[in-house]
């Protein structure tokens, strides 16, 4: 299995910024952001193509992300009613797509996209549905026209980018004005630090991510929590209902 081996040099910590983890610093490093994003992305793809990717569905079940995600849709805290063209970005093994198929209107079209062809094969096998179309794509370069979708779901993908802006700009571009998005990503807190090491991804500071979204016309309509307990302990990562202005 290919290993992510980021460069050894440390990025200078910016003043007034909450401390991130080592992986954040490496990913934010100029070398990856400006020179070798493609190489880094290929390593991410290799990881998901391999045995870790094959275990992803089971891991999401064990970590309770799959059942907790189901609650968000079932309780209509992220309501899919009325959505006609839905894009699931970074579908992985189809964990979120499964909920979308279950709770979206029957006439809604679903597109599942992912960097990894292998992951999309796993998703197709798991979803056992002819409804979704599967598209291999890097979320920073989506092969879709502007304003193609009225709903986007993006679960635990953004943390694989050195800079959230590169992905969010693309998501914003393919969203129609007024379109809704469910965004889940790791936060720079305890559980995020654990996930970050396990999957070699970064974490985000909630306040900074919100500001980036706002700059791109992606308004945070509501911050969501899986359960009351998650809210009290501010656990479970960043989970937010976004609306494109
Ligand atoms: C942790 S899985 C998320 C699976 C699922 N969305 C969920 O909510 O559990 C991350 C997925 O993002 C994909 N991914 C990573 N970087 C990506 C990128 N730049 N563009 C598109 N997909 C990417 C990986 O291949 C992997 O399948």
Q: Please tell me the distance from the alpha carbon of residue 245 to that of residue 220, in angstroms, as a whole number.
A: 10
Beta bridge partners of residue 211, listed in sequence order: none
Q: Is 145 inside any structural domain? A: yes
Ligand 1 contact, 95 CB (< 6 A) = yes
Ligand 1, atom 2, residue with closest C-alpha: 92
Owning domain of residue 28: 22-244
Q: Is 170 inside any structural domain? A: yes
Ligand 1 center–CA 94 separation, angstroms: 10
pLDDT reported for residue 35:
64
| The total number of structural domains that make up the chain | 1
Ligand 1 contact, 175 CB (< 6 A) = no
Tokens, residue 58 = 């089971």
Q: Please tell me the distance from the alpha carbon of residue 88 to that of residue 113, in angstroms, as a whole number.
A: 6
Ligand 1 contact, 41 CB (< 6 A) = yes
Q: Is 12 inside any structural domain? A: no
Q: Is 136 inside any structural domain? A: yes
pLDDT reported for residue 121:
96
Q: In this structure, are residues 139 and 90 in contact, taking their beta carbons and an 8 Å threshold? A: yes
Q: Is 199 inside any structural domain? A: yes
Q: Is 57 inside any structural domain? A: yes
Q: Write the CATH number for 98.
A: 3.40.50.150
Q: Is 213 inside any structural domain? A: yes
Closest ligand 1 atom number to CA of residue 157:
12
Tokens, residue 12 = 């200078």
Q: Please tell me the distance from the alpha carbon of residue 86 to that of residue 160, in angstroms, as a whole number.
A: 22
pLDDT reported for residue 40:
87
Ligand 1 contact, 139 CB (< 6 A) = yes
Q: How far is residue 229 from each of residues 25, 74, 88, 207, 232, measured CA to CA in Å?
A: 30, 18, 27, 21, 5
Ligand 1 contact, 240 CB (< 6 A) = no
Q: Is 70 inside any structural domain? A: yes
Spans in the chain with pLDDT lower than 70 = 1-21, 29-35
Sign of CA dihedral 55, 132, 222, 167: positive
Tokens, residue 137 = 């794509």
Q: In this structure, are residues 150 and 173 in contact, taking their beta carbons and an 8 Å threshold? A: no
Q: In this structure, are residues 78 and 224 in contact, taking their beta carbons and an 8 Å threshold? A: yes
Tokens, residue 192 = 């995020």
């Amino acid at each position: 299995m290919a290993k992510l081996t980021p460069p050894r040099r440390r990025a200078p910590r910016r003043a007034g910024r909450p401390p991130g983890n080592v992986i954040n610093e490496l990913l934010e490093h100029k070398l990856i952001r400006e020179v070798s994003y493609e190489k880094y992305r290929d390593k991410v793809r290799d990881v998901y193509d391999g045995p870790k990717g094959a275990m992803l569905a089971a891991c999401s079940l064990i970590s309770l992300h799959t059942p907790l995600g189901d609650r968000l849709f079932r309780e209509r805290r992220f309501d899919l009613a009325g959505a006609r063209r839905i894009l699931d970005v970074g579908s992985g093994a189809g964990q979120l797509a499964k909920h979308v198929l279950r709770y979206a209107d029957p006439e809604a079209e679903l597109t599942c996209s992912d960097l990894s062809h292998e992951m999309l094969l796993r998703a197709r096998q798991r979803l056992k549905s002819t409804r979704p179309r599967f598209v291999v794509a890097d979320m920073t370069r989506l092969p879709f026209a502007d304003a193609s979708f009225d709903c986007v779901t993006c679960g635990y993908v953004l943390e694989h980018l050195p800079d959230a802006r590169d992905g969010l700009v693309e998501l914003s571009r393919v969203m129609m004005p007024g379109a809704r998005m469910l965004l889940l990503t790791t936060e720079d807190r305890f559980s995020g630090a654990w996930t970050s090491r396990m999957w070699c991804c970064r974490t985000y500071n909630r306040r900074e991510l919100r500001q980036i979204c706002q700059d791109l016309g992606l308004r945070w309509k509501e911050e969501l929590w899986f359960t009351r307990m998650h809210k009290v302990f501010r656990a479970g990562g960043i989970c937010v209902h976004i609306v494109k202005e």
